[in-house]
């Protein structure tokens, strides 16, 4: 590779950072840029719940400081949005009206909060979070709140409730087991979760759903289908993630729920790769696409994408024992059992 090469990674999570590290280790001359919509440097996303509930300061979120990128001659562009890609001309168009040329590209944009279709009409009343910037104002609101309702549809919701309880909040939990992400909960699992939450004085609503949400001044009232009325200062909705690929649509890069890539993490365009939560990976043995979630999977994929970008031919192997079926797609998780 030469100094004229410009490798760009879109996304500053574990996949993007691992990719950048591997690229720099193997190519000292190329220009390497990371573009991230987030204004905060690389951080532990799974610690956000503890930050929001006031249990840890922002410094404890940081994985890598801005200066560390400079030290490795990696240009980190924070708070910048890629609006579209021209894969033919190899140009990225940024929202702030800058165009950037690349020679090779890795898409590692992760996911953003999913909202259930049944809750869309109440969207203005719901608070979701998946990034640091989502949490900055929320931390203050949580601090002031006494009663909090969590609409739980993913594994993060359980651990978030625990953080709130430790912060002495009065918590109500509505479980959305039919739409749970990324796995289907068994009745045995549900019972265990309910038992666990109740032991922490959490009010649980497990076979119920939202009928109406009303707001009066700064207080919300959730009316459920089983005629329960739950008061709340904030309603947090945690329903899993959907891949961040909207900016790719219309670019001729193949997508489904995520960016479609082969086992080498290559897209249908030469020199464009995808890794992490935003990628949908084809497995010739399964004869299907699968997605993965979780930090370690993302790191591994970032590394593989970078090596292949540099000319290697590594295949990403899904660990079969941790694959689940979700809406017809195979899902690989490697972290959820820790909760």
Partner 1 sequence: MSNTDIVLEICGSAGEGTISSGEIFNRYISSIDFEIMSFDTYPSEIRGFGKCVAHSRFSTQKIFTPGKYTDILIALNDAHSISQLGHLKDTGVVIYDSKPPKYHEEDKSIVGWMEPGMISYGIPFNDLAQKAAGNSRGRNMVALGAVCALFGVDHEEFKNTIIQRYAKKKQIVIDNNVNSFVEGYNWANDNLTKIDSISFKKGKNKNEKESIIINGNQAVAKAAIDSELHLYAGYPITPATKIMEILSHELPKKNGIMLQTEDEISAIGNVLGAGFAGKRSMTATSGPGFALMTEFMGLSVMAQIPAVIVNSQRGGPSTGLPTKTEQSDFNAAVNGGTGDLPRFVIAPASVEECYDGTTLAFYLAEKYQTLVVILLDFFLSNSIRNIDEPTPPTEKMLNSNIAPNEKELKDYVRFKETKTGVSPRSIPGTPNGMYTTTGLENNERGKPQYDGKLHTKMSDMRYRKLNSALNDVPKPKWTGPKKDIDVGILSWGSSAGAAYEAATIANKNGHRVAVLSSLVVFPVNEVDLTKFCNESKQILIPELNYSGQYANFIASYINRPVERLNMVSGLPMASEDVLSKIDEMIAS
According to the binding rule CB under 8 A, does residue 104 interact with partner 1?
no
Binding span for partner 1 by CB under 8 A among 13-21, 78-86, 251-259, 304-312? 78-86
Q: How are beta strands 111-113 and 104-107 bridged, if at all?
A: unpaired
Q: From the CB of 99, what's the least distance to partner 1, in Å?
A: 4
Q: Which of 45, 47, 77, 114 binds partner 1 (CB under 8 A)?
A: 77
According to the binding rule CB under 8 A, does residue 99 interact with partner 1?
yes
Residues sharing a CB contact under 8 Å with residue 29, sequence separation 6 or more, in sequence order: 1, 2, 3, 5
d(C-alpha 228, C-alpha 224), whole Å? 5
CA distances from 322 to 152, 235, 275, 291 (A): 22, 32, 18, 12
**Vertex 106: Cα angle to 291 and 305 (nearest 5):** 65
Q: Which of 71, 89, 97, 313 binds partner 1 (CB under 8 A)?
A: 97
According to the binding rule CB under 8 A, does residue 98 interact with partner 1?
yes
Please, are residues 259 and 248 in contact by the beta-carbon 8 Å criterion? yes
According to the binding rule CB under 8 A, does residue 86 interact with partner 1?
no
11: which 2 tokens?
Answer: 């996304």
Q: Which of 73, 101, 118, 218 binds partner 1 (CB under 8 A)?
A: 101
Q: Which of 56, 94, 128, 190 binds partner 1 (CB under 8 A)?
A: 94
Q: Which of 25, 73, 79, 191 binds partner 1 (CB under 8 A)?
A: 79
d(C-alpha 244, C-alpha 110), whole Å? 6
According to the binding rule CB under 8 A, does residue 66 interact with partner 1?
yes
According to the binding rule CB under 8 A, does residue 60 interact with partner 1?
no
335: which 2 tokens?
Answer: 């972290």
The residues that touch partner 1, with contacts defined as CB under 8 A, are 39-41, 66, 77-80, 93-94, 96-101
């Amino acid at each position: 590779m030469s100094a004229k090469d410009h490798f760009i990674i879109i996304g500053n999570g574990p996949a993007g950072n691992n990719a950048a590290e591997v690229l720099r280790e193997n190519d000292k001359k190329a220009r390497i840029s990371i573009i991230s919509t987030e204004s905060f440097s690389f951080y532990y996303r799974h610690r956000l719940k503890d930050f929001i509930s006031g249990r840890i300061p922002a410094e404890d979120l940081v994985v890598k400081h801005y200066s560390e990128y400079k030290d490795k001659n990696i240009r980190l562009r924070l708070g910048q949005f890629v609006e579209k890609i021209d894969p033919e001309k190899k140009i990225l168009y940024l929202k702030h009206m800058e165009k950037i040329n690349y020679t090779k590209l890795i898409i590692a944009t992760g996911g953003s909060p999913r909202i259930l279709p049944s809750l869309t009409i109440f969207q203005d009343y719901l608070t979701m979070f998946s990034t640091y910037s989502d949490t900055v104002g929320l931390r203050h609101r949580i601090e002031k709140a006494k009663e909090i309702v969590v609409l739980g549809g993913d594994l993060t919701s359980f651990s978030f409730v625990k953080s709130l309880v430790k912060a002495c909040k009065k918590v109500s939990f509505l479980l959305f087991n039919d739409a749970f992400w990324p796995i289907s909960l068994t009745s045995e699992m549900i019972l265990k979760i309910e038992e666990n939450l109740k032991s922490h004085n959490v009010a649980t609503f497990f076979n119920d759903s939202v009928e109406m949400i009303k707001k009066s001044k700064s207080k919300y009232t959730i009316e459920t289908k089983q005629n329960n009325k739950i008061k709340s200062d904030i309603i947090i909705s945690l329903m899993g993630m959907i891949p961040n690929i909207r900016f790719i649509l219309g670019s001729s890069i193949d997508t489904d729920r995520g960016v479609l890539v082969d086992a080498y993490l290559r897209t249908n365009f030469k020199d464009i790769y995808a890794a992490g939560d935003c990628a949908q990976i084809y497995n010739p043995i399964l004869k299907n696409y699968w997605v993965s979630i979780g930090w370690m999977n993302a790191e591994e994929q970032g590394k593989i994408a970078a090596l292949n970008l540099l000319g290697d031919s590594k295949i990403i192997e899904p660990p079969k024992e941790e694959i689940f079926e979700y809406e017809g797609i195979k899902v690989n998780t490697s972290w959820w059992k820790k909760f």
